[in-house]
Chain A
Amino acid sequence: MTLLADLSTAIIAGDDARAGDLTGRAIAQGIPPKAILDDGLIAGMTVVGDRFRDHEIFLPDVLLAARAMYAGMDLLKPLLIRDGIPALGTVVIGSVRGDLHDIGKNLVGIMLKGAGFEVIDLGHDVAPAKMVATAREHGASVIGMSALLTTTMPAMREVVELLKHEGLDGTVRTIVGGAPVTEAFARTIGADAYGFDAGNAVDVVKDLVGRR
């Protein structure tokens, strides 16, 4: 469908006015909301994610594309809810206690939303208890934690242990990432997974919720 191809192109180009306009027209034409989501918004963000991974585009391009995606999503979301179309899953994300870096975490949030997940972004310097409480409250299936400092990484372990303590470790899975974080560190603290970049994080979260 040309309209949806144009929509995904507008998202890739980071043109939020056009993305909003095309989403509105697709809705008006009676195209099913799920098709607009999959073949318009998600299709566009998938290309953005691939190009970013391949270093063909950079952070500003991704941020502009995300803004265009949100322009469409704002119109689409009420219809998805009305039609009872579920998100792929709910993911709580945040930079851990003491860590004020959020660019990487924001990228992960953008890519997760662009893949069809519901994302609750708690921002930076998030206390372990808050991450766990938010996941419980919203029935999230995954908590994603980011740390850019070796000094803040130990807070990740606290979240993993708190989930265990509350008996949630089977229902709420954990993924960790950030420049100094490694697969070995993830294993050491008992996290369920490690994402080495934003694109990889999406694949790993899909695996965690069995949607790939």
Chain B
Amino acid sequence: MRPLLTRLAAGDRLVGDGATGTLLLARGLEPGQPPEAITLSRPAVLEEIARLYFEAGADILETNTFGGSPLKLALHGLERETDTLNHAAVAAVRRAVREEAYVAGSCGPSGRLLEPYGDTSSTAMYDSFQRQMAALIAAGVDCVCVETMTDLAEATLAIRAAKDVAAAIPVLATMTFDPTPRGYFTIMGVSVAAAAAGLAEAGADVIGSNCGTGVEHMVAIAREFRRHSTLPLLIQPNAGLPRMVGDTTVYDETPEFMADKARGLIDAGVSIIGGCCGTTPAHIAALRAVVGHPPRGS
């Protein structure tokens, strides 16, 4: 495989994977149980999910380590398993895709708020991210993906932690925005323009957005990122917002709908298009068809 950033610089357009949590819930993950718990009890499930997305056409597969920083794992008393959980999650995806696709180490928010508006110091948060990044990178990820961030200061700490562990590791960094009458903002008040500048300043190689309210808003968000940045863009929308129908969770955006709207992402110059909550291998296959089929592993 050519290095990820080389391919992006050459103008290749790649496909990310879809939801992990959604598929884990369908495979017996209990509400309230952290997805990371599956990594130790049933690693074969992670390998299966990665294989499904790989076969659907994903070029970049994320690890089941979204909540794998010790601060977040501490919510479940799992912080001492940080190294084990992150290593095992990377190994499971690598077994599924070998060297034919990129393995991205997922890193979500710490679940804590930074001082002064929260109770967690920058140092404590940095140390937490640093431990996770060290574990992911030692386990052999091809890149890390800092995602679903709403606080630019927190995202910055995670990106710096990755670059401090390995200066050459590609860092993908995405934030989650809500539509407001005044434009797109994260819940912490970060605009797309501020995110574009701040994520780049922190050292991210690829920037963009994930999660949120569906693909249509993502097209507008992607255009705004493009206006404010020349970095490669990564966009991973939800399949809309989840709804309860009876006792079942339903996401309204079908693979066909998402893939059709994803043409707008391509027009906006997005380099990597994948999915977040509610997206399935069928969504990724539909996105693959729209993005086109470059030769595998090229």
Contacts and interface: CB of A to CB of B under 8 A. Distances in A.
A185 B244 contact: yes
A173 B187 CA distance: 29
Nearest to B179: A55
Q: List the 9 shortest-distance A-B pairs measured between CB atoms, nearest first.
A: A58-B189, A98-B32, A151-B31, A150-B249, A55-B180, A63-B117, A98-B31, A60-B117, A150-B242
User: Which of B30, B32, B188 counts the most A-chain CB atoms under 10 A from its CB?
Assistant: B32
B28 interface: no
Interface in B120-138: none
A108 interface: no
Interface of B: 25, 30-32, 75, 111, 113, 116-118, 151, 180-182, 185-189, 241-244, 247, 249
B243 A180 contact: yes
Given A58-B187, A64-B116, A97 B244 contact: no
A180 B244 contact: yes
Contacts, number: 59
A59 B176 CA distance: 14
A193 interface: no
A149 B116 CA distance: 28
Interface of A: 54-61, 63-64, 67, 97-100, 103, 125, 149-154, 179-180, 182, 185
B242 A180 contact: yes
B268 to A, nearest CB: 24
Contacts of B118: 63
A149 B113 CA distance: 20
Contacts of B241: 179-180
Contacts of B243: 150, 180, 182
Nearest to B151: A60
Contacts of B151: 60
B181 A103 contact: no
A67 B119 CA distance: 12
Given A151-B25, A185-B244, A59 B31 contact: no
Contacts of A61: 189
Given A150-B242, A150-B249, A180-B242, A58 B185 contact: yes
B113 A63 contact: yes
A59 B187 contact: yes
A121 to B, nearest CB: 15
A60 B188 contact: yes
Contacts of B32: 97-100, 125, 152
Contact of B117 (A54, A64, A149): A64
User: Which of A57, A150, A153 counts the most B-chain CB atoms under 10 A from its CB?
Assistant: A150
User: Which of B75, B185, B241, B242 counts the most A-chain CB atoms under 10 A from its CB?
Assistant: B242
Contacts of A60: 117, 151, 188-189
B189 to A, nearest CB: 3
Contacts of A150: 242-244, 249
B244 A58 contact: no
17 contacts: A54-B181, A55-B181, A55-B182, A58-B185, A58-B189, A60-B189, A98-B30, A100-B32, A149-B31, A150-B242, A150-B243, A151-B25, A153-B244, A180-B241, A180-B244, A180-B249, A182-B244
